[in-house]
A and B are shown apart, each in its own frame.
Chain A
Amino acid sequence: MVHARCAPRNEALLIWPGRRKDGKKHPNQLFTSKTSRAMSSAATTPPSVDKVDGFSRKSVRKAKQKRSQSSSQFRSQGKPIELTPLPLLKDVSAQEQPELFLKKLQQCCAVFDFMDTLSDLKMKEYKRSTLNELVDYVTVSRGYLTEQAYPEVVKMVSYNIFRTLPPSDSNEFDPEEDEPTLEASWPHLQLVYEFFIRFLESQEFQPSIAKKYIDQKFVLQLLELFDSEDPRERDYLKTVLHRIYGKFLGLRAFIRKQINNIFLRFVYETEHFNGVAELLEILGSIINGFALPLKAEHKQFLVKVLIPLHTVRSLSLFHAQLAYCIVQFLEKDPALTEPVIRGLLKFWPKTCSQKEVMFLGELEEILDVIEPTQFVKIQEPLFKQISKCVSSPHFQVAERALYYWNNEYIMSLIEENSNVILPIMFTSLYRISKEHWNPAIVALVYNVLKAFMEMNSTLFDELTSTYKSDRQREKKKEKEREELWKRLEDLELKRSLQSDGIIPT
């Protein structure tokens, strides 16, 4: 099994896959793992159905076959492809090599149908070995990159990698649950990517020549491939795009804009795109390199694209990368803290506890780097939310929020502002200490209350003594509201009766 996060070539591309500094687990690992879920579902299936149902002999389900996908480009199975074998590059003289190199590139433009496992076997093998040879050649040779080679390289890569991705096999592909569909032509595709990366990284590579061929259209098609279900392919694409971003200054703004578009479409239109995590990973390193002061474009990207990405259902698949990007931004420009936190509060999950835990995790990462002056600006709305989380009936949410009190830096911020935060938190904490069903939460809450008491005992005593009268005041206000609405509704009713002529005016 190949999984997105342990793909073969998980190259140390960026600061990324390096671990989070606090050594916390990846958000995906916080929850039930796949195996345990499968076990629990097996356990709930009644075991002795067969005895009751005389019909169940057919209930044995066929084992799911491992799926692989073709490239949606073989409209009709054409004639067999014939390639005339060429001599090896090392067997010809140095002068002849560039010419032969071009010929081999042209041969590799032929694309084979890998869904048909029996067709063109010999030629498939020939292309594989040729691609291997090309990979080695661009890695070790010198002086091979003539100007004529550029268009041929780009053409060969385009012919092989650019294709319409086929429809997902299951309509409701859930990347957390389902095995990804693997690309059938990977034996060739992998080598083409490998070759292209070596080409881009080669010392002789000249962006000034290549930019004629690696243009906006090329990048656009490359970005579309990030939707591939095959994690191996996305991993290569990540490296390719990162290299292109690094070497082609003229394409940078365009790449950022297109990623923007992909994300906006993902958030507001389809909620489906497989390569979000990979693109965010690239962005993480891009943000890292932004010059100060940040351009308005970048701030807009943060507020209008990255923050709304939190609303997507499949957040868990890219949350770590997203949180990393957000923190990068805040480390660049602390003044962004307020809009970011307000954005998170606006999109705070209402029904999904797992997402709530992720939000709390991200918020803690933000608080880790927050400046005290920024903290003061958002402490009120922030702690109103935290107070709600603390009293969540879902113990994981409550627990995650209460863990903030184990964070020394956050504790110091709370202490400095206890006169504001304590009144906000007090009601929830006091109530949970009496009511929460989970003893572990109650214990944690006692610790927090104790900490508050030590921080500011005068205020604490005051709040304890006014707790009851405050509750009563709230109840009274609630009643007044109800009455107000009732009066309004009566008024509406009376008017509609009047306008119907039932009651004379």
Chain B
Amino acid sequence: TKLDDSKMAGAEGDDSLYPIAVLIDELRNEDVQLRLNSIKKLSTIALALGVERTRTELLPFLTDTIYDEDEVLLALAEQLGSFTVLVGGPEFVHNLLPPLESLATVEETVVRDKAVESLRKISQEHSPVDLEVHFVPLVKRLASGDWFTSRTSACGLFSVCYPRVSSTVKAEIRQHFRTLCSDDTPMVRRAAASKLGEFAKVLELDYVKSDIIPLFTALASDEQDSVRLLAVEAGVSIATLLPQEDLEALVMPTLRQAAEDKSWRVRYMVADKFSELQKAVGPEITKTDLVPAFQNLLKDCEAEVRAAAANKVKVFCENLPEDSRETIIMTHILPCVKELVSDTNQHVKSALASVIMGLSTILGKDNTVEHLLPLFLVQLKDECPEVRLNIISNLDCVNEVIGIRQLSQSLLPAIVELAEDAKWRVRLAIIEYMPLLAGQLGVEFFDEKLNSLCMAWLIDHVFAIREAATCNLMKLVEKFGAEWAQNTIVPKVLGMANDSNYLHRMTTLFCINALSGVCGQEITTKHMLPVVLKMSTDQVANVRFNVARCLQKIGPVLDSSALQAEVKPVLEKLATDQDMDVKYFALEAISVLALA
């Protein structure tokens, strides 16, 4: 294929049309935006030059002139990651290393990260020999660079070359990584700590034990908490690699220490990674170590940590070993959960509320009624709307176990209050749960308690709420059927057509748009259509053109005689309206409904 490429370029004979000078001029343009544009089209330039000149002229030029705005450098770093074909395929891929090496040493993290990403990508395209001859030396140069940026970049490159090099080179790579883990710049130690888990995965098990474990232990007790917290994540990865019998001696002491670290950031990290940790260490250590650790995190003095732990309550309980799951939950976890329900911090309560319902499936009917139900009820009365909302949004879990009726007495005031919350986003959220609630509570309960709320939303002063309320009605009709609609909501909706506020009159039209399909032809023709037609003489133009749009929408539900006899004359009249928008929509409706 390489041959083909050069033949093609030659045959075109247009190399001379695009002298590199012109292209390079573009890359050097004073205007950053133009430089950026050219860099983003670097592949086009390379294509025009052909593989040979890209290698011998373009890449050296790029390597030599890397001093530019970070935005341009970022684009360059990204482009070079997919440049292999443009330099002539894997055989020549190492030609891309010099510019990427320079980019991997710049100050700006975003650029450097992108350069490392591209280097990782093209490392896979190197043959094992090229990897040792070209790539590994680059990694070593970066790893022993003067300024911290190059050493930071090196950290991300060890794991991609390690599996494919000889054992001597492997030993060197391990040595370099060790050195970076004890670098005196915290930035480098952070980079090393964040790549420790990834590096451990490509190492032979013996080296994991002999090399990685000491590094992990050292990083996990670093003087800077920003380093220690990254070691937590590495610890989880390492734990998955080790055989069960080594875990206790090699990683558990360090992880235990992390769970009690004096810095809340580290404890937060432990809480955040708790499910992964649980999977990595297995059921026995979970029982002996993680359960008490989890209890402590749930009782932590910092709300951030408690919230992170509260988020994990359900998953943690789910993954407990089955033989002792219920006992552990009842005796160890539930008491902490009970305290969190009345936590002082709303984020903690709301994190808990988003998962607590899930416990009912794990604990079964009796325990749910006896122990969890009181907690749900407390949370349903919480002062923070987010907490109540999180409970309501997860009602389906409880519904499966005990049925929602048990909750309905407390549910109602909670729903009513959320429905009237001052924040429209809260109101919007509860509207979205209405169809689900209606389904679970049944039609009678709904008619009695919730119907009026649903109607009240139709006259909310926020459009998004009115819109959602309209859509909600449609979903309710889908659930309860057309007859129910005709008896309960259609009269109210149509009544609004006489309201003095034109926004309410428009809401009638929007509701009809949504409801005509689910209510069917009879109701639409008999009850809705007359109202719509009557509104065509409304004095507000917005109402009139919405009549036209409404007719267009409900047209397909009507039969042809109604269309011809009733709709057509009205639309024709609207088509001669003074207002141009009314005209426009009337004509559109006429053409869509093929009434012309």
User: In the complex, A220→B461 CA distance in Å?
Assistant: 56
Is B17 a contact partner of A58 (Cβ separation < 8 A)? no
Q: Most chain-A CB neighbours within 10 Å: which of B4, B43, B303, B422?
A: B422
A487 touches B17 (CB 8 A): yes
> Are A505's CB and B11's CB within 8 A?
yes
Would you give the shortest CB distance from A46 to chain B, in whole angstroms?
9
A468 CB-CB contact with B under 8 Å: no
Main secondary structure of the interface of B (DSSP, over half): helix
Which residues of chain B from 403 to 428 have any CB-CB distance to chain A below 8 Å in the complex? Answer: 419-422, 427
Q: Determine if B421 and A55 form an interchain contact, defined as CB atoms under 8 angstroms apart.
A: yes
Q: Does B69 contact A (CB under 8 A)?
A: yes
B30 and A384 contacting across the interface, CB-CB below 8 Å: yes
Interfacial chain B residues near A485, Cβ < 8 Å? 41, 44
Residues of chain B within 8 A (CB-CB) of A488 are: 18, 41, 44-45, 47-48
The answer to whether B422 touches A73, judged by C-beta atoms less than 8 angstroms apart, is no
* Docked-complex contact A498 and B41, CB < 8 angstroms: no
Query: B386 → chain A, closest Cβ, in Å?
Result: 14
Nearest-CB distance from A6 to chain B (Å)?
31
Verify B107–A74 contact, CB threshold 8 A: no
Write the chain A residue with the least CB distance to B347: A171
Chain B residues, CB < 8 A from A308: 107
Tell yes or no: B14 within 8 A of A by CB.
Answer: yes
In the assembled complex, how far is the CB of residue A271 from the closest CB belonging to chain B, in whole angstroms? 11
Q: Within residues 442 to 474 of chain B, which ones have a CB less than 8 A from any CB in chain A?
A: 456, 460-461
Q: What sequence of 0s and 1s flags, for each residue 515-544 of chain B, a beta carbon within 8 Å of any chain A beta carbon?
A: 000000000000000000000000000000
CB distance from B443 to the nearest CB of A (A): 25
Output the nearest chain B residue to A56 by Cβ-Cβ distance: B422
- List residues 475-502 of chain A with CB under 8 A from any CB of chain B: 481, 484-485, 487-489, 491-492, 495, 498
Q: Across the interface, do A164 and B147 meet the contact criterion of CB distance under 8 Å?
A: no
- Looking at A182-190, A207-215, A261-269, A452-460, the stretch in contact with chain B turns out to be A261-269
Cα–Cα distance between A75 and B186 once the two chains are bound (Å) = 27
CB distance from B231 to the nearest CB of A (A): 17
Contact between A489 and B11, CB atoms less than 8 A apart:
no
How far is A264 from B187 in the complex, measured between Cα atoms in Å?
8
A495 vs B419: C-alpha distance in the bound complex, in angstroms?
Answer: 61
A53: chain B residues within 8 A (beta carbon): 460-461
CB pair B47–A491 under 8 Å, yes or no, is: yes
Q: Is the CB of B14 within 8 A of A491?
A: yes
B264 & A167 in contact (Cβ 8 Å cutoff): yes
Q: Hey, which chain A residues are within 8 Å of B245, CB to CB?
A: none
Closest to A61 in B: B422
User: Closest Cβ of chain A: how far from B164's Cβ, in Å?
Assistant: 30
In the complex, whether B223 has a CB less than 8 A from a CB of chain A is yes
Could you give, for residues 286-316 of chain B, a 1 whenever the CB lies within 8 Å of some chain A CB and a 0 otherwise? 0000000000000001111000000000000
B421 touches A58 (CB 8 A): yes
Partner of B108, one of A166, A217, A268, A495: A268
A55 contacts B420, CB within 8 Å? Answer: yes
With A53-B460, A58-B422, A485-B41 known as contacts, the answer to whether A268 contacts B107 (CB < 8 A) is: yes
Residue of B nearest to A217 (CB): B223
What separation, in Å, do the CA atoms of A70 and B34 have in the docked complex?
53
- How distant is the Cα of A166 from the Cα of B263 in the complex, in angstroms? 9
Minimum CB–CB distance for A260 against chain B, Å = 9
Task: Give the CA-CA distance A74 to B4 in the complex, in Å.
Answer: 73
Q: Does B592 contact A (CB under 8 A)?
A: no
- Chain A residues with CB under 8 Å of B41's CB are 485, 488
Contacts of A59 in B (CB 8 A): 422
**Residues of chain A lying within 8 A (CB to CB) of residue B43:** 492
The closest CB in chain B to the CB of A77 belongs to: B301
**Contacts of B48 on A, CB cut-off 8 Å?**
488, 491-492
Evaluate whether A481 and B8 lie within 8 angstroms (CB atoms) in the complex, with A74-B301, A167-B302, A488-B41 already known.
no
Residue of chain A at shortest CB distance from B501: A52
Which A residues touch B420, using CB under 8 A?
Answer: 54-55, 58
Cross-chain contact B107 with A304 (CB below 8 angstroms): yes
Closest to A60 in B: B422
- Judge if A346 is at the interface, Cβ distance under 8 Å: yes
Return A496 CB to nearest CB of chain B, in Å. 9
Asked if A49 lies at the interface with its beta carbon under 8 angstroms from chain B, I say yes
The answer to whether B263 and A164 have CB atoms under 8 Å apart is yes
A56–B262 CA distance with the chains assembled, in angstroms: 45
Given contacts A73-B262, A491-B48, contact A481 B26 (CB under 8 A): yes
The answer to whether residues A164 and B187 also contact, given A58-B420, A74-B301, A308-B107 and a CB cut-off of 8 A, is no
Contact with B along A43-83 (1 / 0, CB 8 A): 00000010011111011000000000010111110000000
B422-A492 in contact (CB<8A): no
The minimal Cβ–Cβ distance linking B233 to chain A, given in whole angstroms, is 16
Chain A contacts of B427 at CB under 8 A? 55
Q: Which of A52, A492, A498 contacts B8 (CB 8 A)?
A: A498
Question: Inside 8 A of A491's CB, which chain B residues have their CB?
Answer: 12, 14, 44, 47-48
Q: Indicate if the CB atoms of B22 and A304 lie closer than 8 Å.
A: no
Q: Measured between alpha carbons, how far is A217 from B222 in the docked complex, in Å?
A: 12
Q: Is B225 an interface residue (CB 8 A)?
A: yes
Known: A55-B421, A384-B30. Is A268-B304 also a contact (CB below 8 A)?
Answer: no
Q: Is the beta-carbon distance between A55 and B422 smaller than 8 angstroms?
A: yes
Contacts of A492 in B (CB 8 A): 43-44, 47-48
Complex Cα distance, B427 from A488, in Å, reads 55
B486 CB contacts on chain A under 8 angstroms: none
Asked if residues A167 and B461 are in contact (CB atoms below 8 Å), the reply is: no
Asked if B102 is an interface residue, CB under 8 A from chain A, the answer is no
Determine the chain B residues whose CB is within 8 A of the CB of A55 once the complex forms: 419-422, 427, 460
List which B183-231 residues lie within 8 A (CB) of chain A: 185-187, 190, 223, 225-226
Is B47 a contact of A495 with CB atoms below 8 Å? yes
Q: Are B264 and A166 in contact (CB under 8 A)?
A: yes
User: Could you tell me the distance in whole angstroms from the C-beta of B184 to the nearest C-beta in chain A?
Assistant: 8
List residues of chain A with CB within 8 A of the CB of B303. Answer: 167
B148 within 8 A of A: yes
Q: Please, which residues of chain A bring their CB within 8 A of the CB of B30? A: 384
Q: Which of A331-361 contact B (CB under 8 A)?
A: 346
* B47 to chain A: closest residue by CB: A492
Identity of the chain A residue whose Cβ is nearest the Cβ of B268 in the assembled complex: A167
Decide if B361 is an interface residue (CB 8 Å cutoff).
no
B109 within 8 A of A: yes
Contact with B along A249-280 (1 / 0, CB 8 A): 00000000000010011001100000000000
Nearest CB of A to B430, in Å? 12
CB closest residue in chain A, given B1: A499
Which of B7, B226, B264, B461 has a CB less than 8 Å from the CB of A49? B461
Are A72 and B264 touching (Cβ within 8 A)? yes
Residues of B within 8 A of A73 (CB): 262
Task: Establish whether residues A167 and B304, one from each chain, have CB atoms under 8 Å apart when the complex forms.
Answer: yes
Give chain A nearest CB distance to B51 CB in angstroms.
Answer: 12
Chain B contacts for A217, CB-based, 8 A: 223
Contact B187 A261 (CB under 8 A): yes
A438 and B551 alpha carbons, distance in the complex (Å) = 50
Which residue of B11, B147, B421, B456 is within 8 Å of A54 (Cβ)? B456
Q: How far is the CA of A281 from the CA of B304 in the complex (A)?
A: 33
Contacts of B17 in A (CB 8 A): 487
Q: State the Cβ distance, A216 to closest chain B Cβ, in Å.
A: 10
Binary contact track B1-33/A, C-beta < 8 Å → 1, others 0: 000100110011010011000100010001000
**Contact, CB under 8 Å: A346 / B22:** no
19 CB-based A-B contacts, threshold 8 Å: A55-B427, A58-B420, A76-B301, A166-B264, A166-B302, A167-B304, A220-B223, A264-B148, A308-B107, A481-B26, A484-B18, A485-B44, A487-B18, A488-B44, A488-B47, A491-B12, A491-B47, A492-B47, A505-B11
Interface pairs A-B: 7 shortest CB-CB: A59-B422, A52-B461, A55-B420, A268-B109, A167-B304, A53-B461, A164-B263
Chain B positions near chain A (C-beta within 8 angstroms): 4, 7-8, 11-12, 14, 17-18, 22, 26, 30, 34, 41, 43-45, 47-48, 69, 107-109, 147-148, 185-187, 190, 223, 225-226, 262-264, 301-304, 419-422, 427, 456, 460-461
- 10 more contacts with CB within 8 A, not counting A54-B456, A55-B422, are A54-B420, A55-B420, A73-B262, A76-B301, A269-B190, A304-B147, A484-B18, A488-B41, A488-B47, A491-B47
